[in-house]
Structure 1
Amino acid sequence: MTEHAAGSRPPAIDSSRPHPARRYNYWLGGKDHFAADRESGDQIAAVMPSIRTAALENRAFLGRAAGHIARQGVRQFLDIGTGIPAPGNTHEIVQAVDPQARIVYADNDPLVLTHARALMAGTPGTIAYLDADLRDPASILDHPDLHKLLDLSEPVGLLLIAVLHFVRDDEDADGVVAQLLDRLPAGSWVAASHATWEHTPEHVVAELQKSNRDGRFVPRDGHRFADLFAGRIEIVEPGVVSVADWHNDNPARAAAADVMCNALVGRKP
């Protein structure tokens, strides 16, 4: 793993406020979270009891999508909003296809950085981690540690798993996606998932909004989700579907109404 800038200290971890990466870890059954994350997670679970199933289905989609892209011949990946390391990390998936596949992770939670250094193992020289924020794509794409590992003149697999719904419209969500994809060459792939309330009863949405007073969480329906990528990628079959339905042959997979998260995978022509 790449280290923080020489001579600098990682930013302080604020355990008093919930963070999406730590809350997600809590729902996945991990142990890397604080009381504020558990309280927030339990509040959401009280309204949406299937939230843990949703987190697991989203994680499973990451595995299927990353594996699919690797099997198309892509050997370098940029995973933004990676979250706290857990079984089924991107590098484990794609290095099972090719042990020399290279992966750069980016996240804005200092706790993720701490655990990434300690827990992310892979073939030496193939994994790096950036302490960076999706809302500032240049801070990721221009980072020297990214360029030590990835060649942006060759196809890249861009992973935006359960992260775009934390970019508000007034933070230019469309522009963020555009900046990322415009810097990647033809033949690159993207896999993304995005929360939606299009299948959720109004009374449940009203309760969920109580935990979203700052508007940080922005669910978008499938059409708006696809619009973020319009004109920049060709979405492959089966199109925009629930994360539970994307290339999933398990007849016991969760219903779209329980998962409340759409998925897409596409290729930049």
Structure 2
Amino acid sequence: MSVNKVPAGVDPSVPSVARIYDYYLGGKDNFASDREAAEQIIGILPNVRDIARENREYLIRTVTYLAGQGVRQFLDIGAGLPTQRNVHQVAQELAPESRVVYVDNDPIVLTHARALLAENDRVIAVGADMRDTEGLLAIPEIREHLDFSRPMAILMLGVLHFIPDDAEAMKIVTVLRSALGRGGHLVISHGSVGDIDEDRSREGQRVFSRTAIPGVTSRSPEQVRAFFEGLELVDPGVVPLRDWRPELEPVIVKEGEAGAVGGVGRVR
């Protein structure tokens, strides 16, 4: 399906974080406004495409790990546009009975996901905003598709840095952690760009202010580790994405460049 067929309620002149990410990954499901915004971010963080690819590889490795641990239910929040090797593809290759819910607040993401998943009754896509976390978890479609009394993985890949307020970000994660029972897992990846001068920071905020998100922020590995409070961190802990059980070579993001960190926490 092409974005030439614009879903009702979508303004193609307003860039979307999901479609910007699609552009970074070399996808075609984006508008001119998304490409313009993406190129502006590339001017600020020249290796942002590499970070996006590294995040996708991290998704593949973490889902592979979780499937190997017996996890058969996945709630992917802020799933973004379907691309190669999505959560359900990785999980169902290892365990065909795996059930997945994709959550996003972008109508184009939902249109594409539902078209892709039309013949896979173990996978659904639901429209919701992670900022209304209690409402998200109460959605009947999600509660019917996933059994919250059994082990489940909640994935938050590349989304929390779009919640600039630390207290709000922690509240979102705390509510989601509370939904996990014994054997459940929380997976996070988060932008951690290090020092960036004020001019480039302001320009980045200006670009993202044109989207529907409230802002964007970088957090240190220590700040990201705090999201896993009360959970047992799976080795090697919160580390640069390339260092979380690496399987793919060569390393994409070079030392000293902007990057992202991530980790997996388990309910004891």
User: Could you state the TM-score of these two structures normalised by the residue count of structure 1?
Assistant: 0.89
* Partner in structure 2 of residue 221 of structure 1: 220
Q: Please, which runs of 5 or more residues in structure 1 have no aligned partner?
A: 1-9
In the other structure, the counterpart of 2:50 is 53
Question: Counterpart of 1:7?
Answer: none
Question: Contact (CA 8 Å) 1:160, 1:192: kept in 2 or not?
Answer: yes
Q: Is the 8 A contact 1:18 1:40 kept in 2?
A: yes
After superposition, the Cα gap between the structure-2 partners of 1:110 and 1:256, relative to the gap in structure 1 and judged at 3 Å, is farther
Does the CA-based 8 Å contact 1:244-1:259 persist in structure 2?
Answer: no
Alignment-derived partner of residue 212 in structure 1: 205
Give the partner amino acid of 1:253. Answer: V
Q: Does the alignment pair 1:131 with 2:127?
A: yes
1:63-142, aligned counterparts within 5 Å? Answer: 63-120=60-117, 124-142=120-138
Q: Structure 1 residues 209, 120: CA separation in 2 closer, same or farther (over 3 Å shift)?
A: farther
CA contact under 8 A between 2:159 and 2:190: conserved in structure 1? yes
Q: What letter matches 1:226 in structure 2?
A: R
- The one-letter code matched in structure 2 to 1:222 is P
The alignment status of 1:248 with 2:241, answered yes or no, reads no
- Partner of residue 25 from structure 1, selected from 6, 11, 22: 22
Provide closer, same or farther for how the CA distance between residues 168 and 208 of structure 1 changes in structure 2, counting only shifts above 3 A: closer
Q: Is residue 222–residue 262 contact of structure 1 (8 Å, CA) maintained in 2? A: yes
The verdict on how the C-alpha distance between 1:264 and 1:256 changes in structure 2, with shifts beyond 3 A counting, is farther
Aligned residues: 255
Q: CA deviation at 1:196?
A: 0.9
Contact 1:102 1:149 in 2 (8 A): yes
Q: Residues of 2 paired with 1:191 and 1:11: CA distance?
A: 33
Letter in 2 for 1:247: R
Moved over 6 A (4+): none
Matched with 1:6 is none
Q: Distance in 1 between matches of 2:151 and 2:47?
A: 36
Q: Residues of 2 paired with 1:160 and 1:181: CA distance?
A: 11
Distance, in Å, in 1 between the alignment partners of 2:177 and 2:66 is 16
Q: CA–CA distance in 2 between the matches of 1:259 and 1:69?
A: 27
The answer to whether the Cα contact below 8 Å between 1:53 and 1:259 also exists between their aligned partners in 2 is no
Tell me the secondary structure at the aligned position of residue 212 of structure 1.
helix
CA drift at 1:19: 1.3
Determine what percentage of the aligned residue pairs are the same residue.
39
Please give the secondary structure, in 1, of the residue aligned with 2:189.
strand
Amino acid at match of 1:34: F
Question: How far did 1:256 drift?
Answer: 4.8
Secondary structure of the residue aligned to 2:49 is helix
- 1:4 corresponds in structure 2 to none
Matched, 1:264 2:257: no
Residue 189 (structure 2) aligns with: 193
TM-score (norm 2): 0.90
